[in-house]
Amino acid sequence: MEFELNIKPLATWLPHEATAIIAGPCSAETEEQLVATCLQLKNLKVSALRAGIWKPRTRPGNFEGHGEVALPWIQTVKQSVNLPFAIEVATPQHIELALKYGVDILWIGARTTVNPFNVQDLADALRGIDVPVMIKNPVNPDLALWIGAIERIHKAGITKIAAIHRGFSSLQESKYRNPPTWQIPLELKRIFPHLPLLCDPSHITGERTLVQRVAQKALDLNYDGLMIETHITPDKAWSDAKQQVTPQALAEMIESFQIRRQSTDDAEFNNQLEHIRKKIDEVDREIIEILANRMALVEQIGEYKRENNISIFQIERWNEIFRTRPQWAEKMGLSKDLIQEIYKLIHVESIRKQTEVMNRVDAD
Q: CATH number of the domain that 352 lies in?
A: 1.20.59.10
Q: Are 335 and 326 in contact (CB under 8 A)?
A: no
Same structural domain for residues 146 and 284? no
Q: What is the pLDDT of residues 137-153, one digit of tens each?
A: 999 999 999 999 999 99
Domain termination site, one of 256, 281, 316 = 256
Work out whether strand 133-136 and strand 161-165 pair parallel, antiparallel, or are unpaired: parallel
Residue 81: the pLDDT is 95
Domain termination site, one of 204, 231, 256 = 256
User: Directed axis angle between helix 71-80 and helix 31-41, to 10°?
Assistant: 30
262-277 average pLDDT score: 89
Q: Which of 319, 315, 339, 316 is nearest to 328 (CA)?
A: 339
Instruction: Give the long-range contacts of residues 326-330, CB within 8 A, separation 24 or more.
Output: none
Q: How many residues appear in the chain?
A: 364
> Taking the model in full, what pTM does it have?
0.85
Where in the chain does DSSP place strands (E)?
A: 20-24, 48-50, 85-88, 105-108, 133-136, 161-165, 197-199, 225-229
Residues 6 or more apart in contact with residue 78 via CB below 8 angstroms: 85, 102
Same structural domain for residues 43 and 169? yes
Whether 269 has a pLDDT exceeding 50, the answer reads yes
Residues 6 or more apart in contact with residue 77 via CB below 8 angstroms: 34, 35, 38, 49, 85
Count the domains in the chain: 2
Domain residue limits at 358 = 267-363
**Is residue 275 included in any domain, yes or no?**
yes
Q: How confident is the model at residue 17 (pLDDT cuts 50, 70, 90)?
A: confident
Work out whether strand 225-229 and strand 20-24 pair parallel, antiparallel, or are unpaired: parallel
Q: Which of 125, 141, 143 is nearest to 133 (CA)?
A: 125
156 vs 173, higher pLDDT: 156
